[in-house]
Structures are given as structure tokens and as C-alpha cells.
Structure 1
């Protein structure tokens, strides 16, 4: 402990301090300037097969992954694997019993939960900062506790700054994290409370819908826990719901499943898995990840959190590579224990008009008799853990703290520590009403076209000279644009922004008309790109893309999109010509390197393909098989060269066993069913 922490503990209080941690950090670039539409997202748009054996509650407000737009958010896909020495600013809560740190510039992620008495971190504390392609907006990193809402998939705030600050209360400081979600158009808030001289952390959640209409939202608190051999996850469950790959459907299974293996032990799962614990008659819901000695992290909460789940990447090569890839080799093994408002993660919940949703979670180390924890009878482990949870986190104390934090949640900050997005303030200006009691969204930001629309309804001459860097597509903002066009007269920028909103709704005819009018008035790179994106004639689309690339201020990520378009269209000659003219720094973009590898595979240039596959890629998507497919094509080509003919299936199988997929290319998430395991 430093002097500030020692003094706070001596005085019987909790300290709050801004601090910095030094660790290897990979580069994270800014948001892409290209609006990405639903069909451009990496999750396939397909109907999820009907769930098997689920109740009405477990199917309520269900959705299909891949069918939702991520606009108006921008993706973050400009990152690397440099891991050079860097500094990450943090905010720390410390009372001498627990040390809690959060990262304001990374969604308020809780990075550390250190128990001084146990002498260990209760959550997985990643030794590096390494983005990877796993989130709704691409970039995501592992470790700590992620506040995962209000849209499905890892939060859009995972790699961006959010608002944080401190509320001073009669019971001590409360550390607040909050932001405005632009898709749901609602607010999420997390208040962290570490009582003086206690080794329990309380987390109060608040979701506010200030609109006069009902909405659908999503919430799961995702907790990364260091994995260890023999670890067991215990939560009330007499059956489980699992994600079944590759279709991503949900199915009910007995729990633990005697026909297969004891699924409460993450180490028995070969492939990546999600297990939702279900016990309708449970007196109290909780989840605990306990090691061989019966010690680990436990969580319980008030009744609003009805879901409990664990996730593990699995013991197969692809999953193990993912964990190493997100951290360092041999230092990334973790599982996630999670709690959500719905029974499964294929569901949303209802936010009533002008309403708030509240809950309180509590976290702390837990020790249970290891003989009971690891009993062959899961009911014995569940009962012993439930009794320990009741002793460790008495319901009366949780209820008292919940009432206290519910009251505090509407109190304003006494001091702000970090700023988030300007969009909360813009929304409040546009609607003419505050978004939430106690929350201030004012920021220092350059005045944009969206500020002008919210305040005056007219776009200034200065903003009419610039291609926009962000977008708004909701009904509220689209109406503001339409009113502005009626008052000011439709400009190229009105038409472009309205066209993007129309395309987000998949109104192709309206979008095309608006983009054509925008480009006729001013042929910007973005307007031309939008026309190329919806053009069905591939020759015409190619022409539009090349015009867009030649236009002023076209960003590097446009070249990546053009390369991918030409590759999909099979225009290899045009693609090679385009690649030859790219500056070296753009040609080195990872997705362009992968496209060159695909061209080499098509051309049968095995030496070039082999050289390109030596690259350690940073942006391969979770479950993406491109690198594995290219490796197989390389090996098949090498075998054909050696044999002078097409190899028989058995010959290819033998060759692939002798030339297995290199670890740095293995991002596969599926494994075959074997030996009674998944």
C-alpha cells in the first residue's frame, strides 16, 4: 500500500485516487470513417434455429444474432500486436482489504480486484493491452469486469472513454461510470461502492429510459476469472442452456449432464462454450468460480439479475490460442462468470417508457469446503456454496446497501474524473429534456453538424465544407435532418446523411436517390462510396469505388474495402492493378495482406502465399476460418506439386497431419464431437 492508502485505512475509510499502470500496450487507432451497415458485419445474418426445450421466459424477447445494425457507432479496426511499453491511466478504490481499479478510457472496465488477505487478484488481470476482433465494433480485449450493454455483443464502449467521477456520501466515496447508448437511446450507469474495512465490492446498476416510448435493451456483467486446473463453477442449476455450434442455437440439457461429462468443470470442455445455469425454484441466485482448494470469486445480486452463465474458450488449440493471443503465451487462461437481466444472451428485456431499472451486485472472495465443492454430487457442491454465499453476503446487508445505492444513484457527482461522448448532451438538446437525474453529459468538443441540428436546426457553411466523421440514424435524428432540409433547403450533406439513415433501414431506393443527389451537388469520397456500396452492377461499382478513392481526403480504410470488393467479385486483374498503385503504408494494412494471400492462392503462387502466411495477424475475427483455409490451400498445392496430380482425400489427410495449422494462424472455435465431450 502507498501512503495515501495506508492513511485511508488507518482512518477507517476508502480512498479514491487517479493512478497509472505501466504495461505492454498495442496500438489502438481511432474509429473508422466508413459507416458499416448490417450486411457488412462479421456475424452472418441468418435465422437462428428454433431453441430446444426452452420455456416461454427463456424465449421472451428473443433475437437473432447478425440481424441488428451497429450504426450509428463506428468500428475500431486499426490496431496491431506491437505491445510496446505504455501507460494506462486508472482510477483506484482502496481500503486496505480490497484494491479495485477501473480504466475510464476503456469503457470503465474494472481491471483489478485484489484481495490483500488472499494475496491474489480475484479477477483475471491481463498483463498486456491487446485488442482483438471479438466485439460488436471489432476491437475488444480480455480481463477484468466488463459492463456489457445496452446492445447485444460486447459493449460498443469497450475501447472508448466514458464518464467517470466520484460521489461523496455519508458512508464513503462512490465511484461512478456512465454513458449514453446511441442505439437504444438510453443511459447505463454503474456505481462502485467499497465500504471501509470490508472485503466486499458492491456494484449498483442503473438503466434509464427518458423517452416516452418503450424500448428493448440488453445487460450482462461479464467477469473474467483466472482459470486453474480443476476449477469448478457453481451456480444454482438443475438444468442448463447451452449455445450449440455452429448454428448458435440454444438447447436445454440436464446439468451436470451424465450422458456426456460434468460441465461444471470448464477444463472438460474442448470447444468454446456458453453454459446458462437454470433453477426456477432457487432461493437465491449466485455464481462462484472455485479452485481445487474451494477458494475463488463469488457474485450474487438483487433479484433483477435473473441470468447466470459461464463462458470458456475451451482446451482445444484454437481456444487456447485465443487466450494466449489476447494476453501472452501461458498467461491468458481465464473463464468468464456472468450475470444478466435475462435468462440467456439471446434475449433483450423491456425498458418501459420514462422508467429506470436498478440492481445491486456484490463480489468477494469465497472459501468453501473443497470436499463439498468437488463432490461428485453437484447438489452437494451447490448447497455448500449457497450456504457459504449466505454467510458471506447476507441478504439483509445486500438489501440495505441496495437501498442506499439506489438513493445515491440520482445524486450528482462531487467531482468528475473523465469525459465520455458528446452524444448524451446532444440528445438532451434535441429532445429538450434532461436524460437522467444526477448525470451531467457536458463535454468540451468541437461544434459539429449534429450540435447545430440540435440547437438551431441549420447546418453552418463551415460544416458544409467537411465530410462528416460520425453519423446519426435514429428516427429522432432523421426527423431533425428532414426539418433542417425543409427550413434550410436540402444540401449535399443533408442528402448524404439522410441517405445513410435510409440505407440503415435498408430502404435502397430512397438511399440511392439521396446519394445520387448528394454526389451531383458535391462528389465527395463518402457519397461515391455509398453509391458503390449499393450498386449491383459490379463494373459500375468498381468505377464508383475508384472515383471515391481518387476523391479528396479518402481514408485508408476505403482502400481496404475496395480490395475486399474486388476480391469478392473475382476481379483479380483489377485487384492486382489497384494493389500495385497503393502506397506502402496502406498496402501493409492487414486485410490487404490477407487479400494478397487469397490472390496468391487463386493464382497458385504458393511461394508468395507461404510468405504472406508468416504474418501474425491482429484482426482475424473470433471463429473466422480464413487463415486456416489459406493454410489448407497452401498445403494442398504443395502436395499436388510433389505428386504431379490431384491428391486423394486420404493422401491429403495424411499430409495435413504432417503439416498442421501453425498456432499463429489457428483461430478456429469449433471442434468435432469426440470421446463424449463437446
Structure 2
């Protein structure tokens, strides 16, 4: 039977979508990120390879990216633009407006969906820039965490080759100032999707990078996740540290997701393995398998767990009754607490293969981990020998530097502006040409060395960071004179680097040259004296009132930040006055609701506190405990009021057991510790 020619086409997918509004216009500095530091793992637990190039979660800056925190849980009929790669045996569907996410991979011989295909688009607060959605295969780099392109457009185009068409995705990372690309290749006559990755460092210095490919697969009872491993390493929440444990501990098998009641990340480690892979297989021994060339050394399983909080997370991200999934992941470093070093002018390439997979059910569910893995390995070697993958990798490396012949989708302009600043292309074969859009004032700076009158008339929607942009601002100020925009931008760069004194001077000059709310807000963040910071924050708010033309996102974002700051610093009288003056639109912001709930608790207005909790919260952060803390404090306060006295610790525990956190408010991902045999799980 002749095979169909490989086809790449565009489509529009109809599905329920939640609104994703404009990004937060306030620059978010490194200390404002809502992640906790992780302690150094014990040196006697992990190998030198597993400790190399570790980092502290939340310690690095996300500037110049903007946080995407304007969304809700109101689904409505909508569409997503898609690009489909189809060879008659497999059909892959890519979403170029959403980071190039591979939303679906269908085995056309059986009609089976190999991934968890989310039936809705619903952002939630799990990514480096907040907004993230579940499902499919995502490309995570070059900074730690879910990609800054998760909910952003990327470049997409077709590369015609003698081997067949390749669908290319690529973008420029503004923090690492390097490019990443993913070439998707579906050969004629094969039920295997090959993914060739390339990261290029165009800088004259080495950089630290990060890469993980994450695939969500539909969870089914009895599912097993297997990978070559002598032991496992768990990423333990909530403090983000690593613990080594035995995978085959008696009475508990970490390869079965259903054994984990709370959210877990398990890295499978076999340092001397000659071939690495990971597979999610159902009770019949069928499912999805990934393997790759030797550059991809890490393998991981993630599951939200079978507990209430985990189930709620999956339903928040999807649709009740159709939302449970497990992730199988592969990365360049052994664990996700590590980066890898890319030398100056260097690049890294690898090739992955994602394929439908079936093996003998009894063998892959053998109680012995190594027996089950051996069964999978034998089947994999028969279907795709390692040397065949290596040979294809060589051909894909040649194609990786060829330009796309048919552009399908445009990303952001920042790669092009980097090329303008440096006078050099970033990577062979990659085209970063795009319309400036919100980058307009910075495009002017890169191309002309100065700002136009139009750019100086309004606050930019987005900011710049990094040594090159800092130098461009300094050179422009020296040649053409410092404007308020020069001073404000240089102050933002300095403050994010912890250079408070020069940042303060920049912000003061910017405000003198042109009074503006953002300079005052940044001065408040720079100020150590609480009373002075309060005055600056409230002056920034008054400056917004004097400029009603400013966009709603700036107003609501600043209001939420001020309210949280006043509460955190116990400026209760000022907080009451501030909240009293808010408009109804701003008051509905869910971060304002949380502040009002906490304030109601402080005031003893318990019914009001509960009313503020009556909401479908959308932006609760992964690991955040605000809702269960407020709920628990509310129940204890009510019981204490009934008894007319404070409760003992035992009484508090009894009250919370009788009034547990409601399902709609339960986002807890706390790990339960138990010791079984020689394993800690």
C-alpha cells in the first residue's frame, strides 16, 4: 500500500478558551518572584555529575520578560491557530502562538491519541512568567522552569530537504541572549516523530543554559512509567531540594503514578547506561516512548498525585473528568536543578524520537524494575536501533542550518534587534525578521541610537535588560542627551542587579525630567525606610489618577502590588484607605480579593473573609498556600469565637479536620514522607 506524501498545512482548532490578557507592564525584579530557595543537596547523596551547575530556584532574573498574569477561568468558544504535520501514519499538531506546543500526536493506524490533548485552553500560574497550560509536548528553555514562550508566539516555517519537509520552530531568548530551535521531522512511511534541537550561543562568553522536553500523556489506572535507572532522585516540595531513593523498595514502586498521593517529580538515574529512553505504558503495555541521542542525559516523571490538591490542579488546568495526565520528560542535564554550560560561540544539538510503543504487558509490568526495563529495551532496539537514530541525527544536523523556504508564523522582534546591536547573525539558517510592535522605542534605539518624540510621550509596554542594551542606553545618553526614558531604563537594569544607589539616582532623574508613576513605584521598591516607601507607593498611585489615559493593566497591577505591600508591612490604616478608594473593576482583581480576605480576618469580620474567598481563583501559584492558610485561619477564628477563648493545638487540629479546605480552594502540593525498606518516598 503506497504511503501518503508528508503534508504540512495550517488549520484553526475550535475549543473552549479562557481569556489571556496583555502582559503585566510593571517590571518584576528578581526578588519579587514567588519561588523559594532550595538548600544545597547533601553531597553524600548525589554524584558530582548530579551536583554540577546547580542553581537556586527563583534566584535568577526574568527581566526583560513581562509576567503574564491577566487571565481568568471563564471559558468561552474560541479558536487556536495550528500547523499540522501528517504522513498518513502519524499526525502532529503544533500551536505556534503558544510556544510551538505540540498539542496532539495521533497514531493514525489505530486512531489513538498518544498525548494528553487538553480539551480547553486554560492558563494557570506555573510557568517562569506565570501563565502556563497543560497538555501535549512543550519545549522548555533556555531559562529554568516552564519556558517564557509557553504562552507567546514563536517563529514557524517549513524547510524543504531531500529527506522530506521539516517543520521548524525557533526563537531568541532575551535572558541568555541565545537562540533555540526545534526541527520536527516526520519521515514518509514511519510512525515516528523525530525532534532535532539546536541551541546556539552567539556571545563572546560562555553561558549557562537549560533544556527539558516535557510530554503529557493521559493518565490511566495501572499506568507504569519506565526508564533505565539504578535509583531515583525526587525533587521534593515545598522547599525544592533533591533526595535520592531506591526505586525498587519493597512495598512501593515509584514507577506507578497511582502510588504517589501528592505531587512528585522523579528523576530516573542510570549513569552508565549505553542508551536512555522513557516510556509511559498502560496496563496493556501500550503507550508513548521517547529516546534520544547521548546529549540528552536526564529523564523524569511528573505527576500531580492522586490526592485532592493534585486532582484539583489537573481539573483547573483542564476539564473535570477529562484532565488527568502524567508527564514524561527528557533533558540535557541529569536533573532540573541543573544547567549546562555552552561555550562562547558554541552550539548544542541533539535528536529525540517520540513513537507509539507496544510491548508484552506481563513483561513491562513485571515486579522487577530491571526485568521490565529490559523488555522495553529489547523491543526498542528491534524497532529503532541506536545506530539508526545516530545516522538520522547526522542528516538533521546538516538541515538545521538551512533556512526555512516557507514561513508560516512570526515570533518577536528581539532576535532581529540583537543582530542590529551586535552587527552579526545569531545562528545560520534562522530568520528573526518581525514587526517591532511593543518593542518600537527599543527598535529606534538599536537602529538610530535615540528615541523619537512619540516614544518619549508615553511609558513603554516592555523593557530591556542586559549588558548590550545598557551600553546602548549609555552611548545614546552621551551622544544625544539623557531623557527620562534613558534614566528610567538604566535604573531598571541597575535595580534588578542589586545596585540600589545608582538605580535610585536614575529613577529620581527620570521623575524630574518627566514625572511618571513607574519611577515613583521603582523608588518605593528601592527604599528601605517603610514610611518613605509607603509615601512613594501612594504617590505613584496618585500619579496614575492624574493620567487616566494609562492602560488598565498598569492600574490593576500597581493596585495589587501596593495592597499586598501595605498588608505585608502591617500598614493597616493606609491599606484600609487605599482599598476604600479603588474602582469596582480594580477591586475585582483576585489578588485584591485575597488581600481583602486577610484584612477581614485581622478585623474579625469572618463572614466578609469567607465572602472574599467565594471565587474561582485562577492565578494561585504552584506551591502557594494563601487559600488554605486563609481558610484554616477562618475556621480557627470561628471556633475560638464560639468558645470565647484561644484554642489549643489539639483543638485547632480537630477544627481543621471537621472543616477541611473546600475542593475549589485546595491547591496543596505538599509531599507526604514515608519510609519503605531502603527507600524514602
Please give the range of the TM-score, normalised by the shorter of the 2 chains: over 0.9
Matched, 1:477 2:506: no
Matched, 1:290 2:284: no
Matched length: 669
Report the CA distance between 1:517 and its aligned residue.
1.2
Map 1:105-504; keep pairs closer than 5 Å: 105-258=97-250, 261-446=252-437, 448-504=440-496
CA deviations 1:309-330 (Å, max 9, x no partner) are 1111111111111111110112
Unaligned runs of 5+ in 1: 1-8
- Give the 3-state SS of the residue equivalent to 2:356 in structure 1: strand
Following the alignment from structure 2 to structure 1, what is the Cα–Cα distance between the partners of residues 37 and 63? 16
Greater displacement, 246-255 / 229-238:
246-255
CA deviations 1:632-669 (Å, max 9, x no partner) are 11111221222222223333322222211101111111
- Give the 3-state SS of the residue equivalent to 2:531 in structure 1: helix
Following the alignment from structure 2 to structure 1, what is the Cα–Cα distance between the partners of residues 401 and 635? 62
1:25 is matched with which residue?
Answer: 17
Greater displacement, 271-280 / 357-366:
271-280
1:652 is matched with which residue?
Answer: 652
Following the alignment from structure 2 to structure 1, what is the Cα–Cα distance between the partners of residues 588 and 181? 40
Residues 3 and 87 of structure 2 are in contact (CA less than 8 Å); yes or no, is this contact kept in structure 1? no
Following the alignment from structure 1 to structure 2, what is the Cα–Cα distance between the partners of residues 550 and 613? 29
* Aligned CA-pair RMSD: 1.5
Following the alignment from structure 1 to structure 2, what is the Cα–Cα distance between the partners of residues 671 and 204? 36
- Give the 3-state SS of the residue equivalent to 2:616 in structure 1: coil
Following the alignment from structure 2 to structure 1, what is the Cα–Cα distance between the partners of residues 320 and 674? 26
2:614 is matched with which residue?
Answer: 614
1:600 is matched with which residue?
Answer: 600
- Give the 3-state SS of the residue equivalent to 1:26 in structure 2: strand
Output the TM-score relative to the length of structure 1: 0.96
1:6 is matched with which residue?
Answer: none
Following the alignment from structure 2 to structure 1, what is the Cα–Cα distance between the partners of residues 393 and 565? 53
Residues 52 and 251 of structure 1 are in contact (CA less than 8 Å); yes or no, is this contact kept in structure 2? no
Greater displacement, 181-190 / 23-32:
23-32
Map 1:10-159; keep pairs closer than 5 Å: 12-45=4-37, 47-159=39-151
Deviating runs (4+, > 6 A) in structure 1?
none
Following the alignment from structure 1 to structure 2, what is the Cα–Cα distance between the partners of residues 47 and 480? 38
Report the CA distance between 1:334 and its aligned residue.
0.7
Residues 248 and 368 of structure 2 are in contact (CA less than 8 Å); yes or no, is this contact kept in structure 1? no
Following the alignment from structure 1 to structure 2, what is the Cα–Cα distance between the partners of residues 555 and 435? 37
- Give the 3-state SS of the residue equivalent to 1:127 in structure 2: coil
Following the alignment from structure 2 to structure 1, what is the Cα–Cα distance between the partners of residues 427 and 673? 50
Report the CA distance between 1:247 and its aligned residue.
2.6
CA deviations 1:421-461 (Å, max 9, x no partner) are 11000000000001111111111224622112212212222
CA deviations 1:479-517 (Å, max 9, x no partner) are 111111111122211111100000111011111111111
Following the alignment from structure 1 to structure 2, what is the Cα–Cα distance between the partners of residues 261 and 550? 59
When residues 45 and 253 of structure 1 are mapped into structure 2, their CA distance, relative to the original with a 3 A threshold, is closer
When residues 119 and 52 of structure 1 are mapped into structure 2, their CA distance, relative to the original with a 3 A threshold, is farther
2:568 is matched with which residue?
Answer: 568
CA deviations 1:211-255 (Å, max 9, x no partner) are 121111000001111111111111110111111333321122222
Report the CA distance between 1:46 and its aligned residue.
5.6
Following the alignment from structure 1 to structure 2, what is the Cα–Cα distance between the partners of residues 271 and 60? 28
Report the CA distance between 1:118 and its aligned residue.
3.0
Unaligned runs of 5+ in 2: none
- Give the 3-state SS of the residue equivalent to 1:105 in structure 2: coil
1:4 is matched with which residue?
Answer: none
Residues 49 and 247 of structure 1 are in contact (CA less than 8 Å); yes or no, is this contact kept in structure 2? no
Following the alignment from structure 1 to structure 2, what is the Cα–Cα distance between the partners of residues 457 and 326? 45
2:580 is matched with which residue?
Answer: 580
Residues 632 and 656 of structure 1 are in contact (CA less than 8 Å); yes or no, is this contact kept in structure 2? yes
Following the alignment from structure 2 to structure 1, what is the Cα–Cα distance between the partners of residues 458 and 353? 48
- Give the 3-state SS of the residue equivalent to 1:467 in structure 2: coil
1:505 is matched with which residue?
Answer: 497
- Give the 3-state SS of the residue equivalent to 2:74 in structure 1: coil
2:638 is matched with which residue?
Answer: 638
Following the alignment from structure 1 to structure 2, what is the Cα–Cα distance between the partners of residues 10 and 382? 35
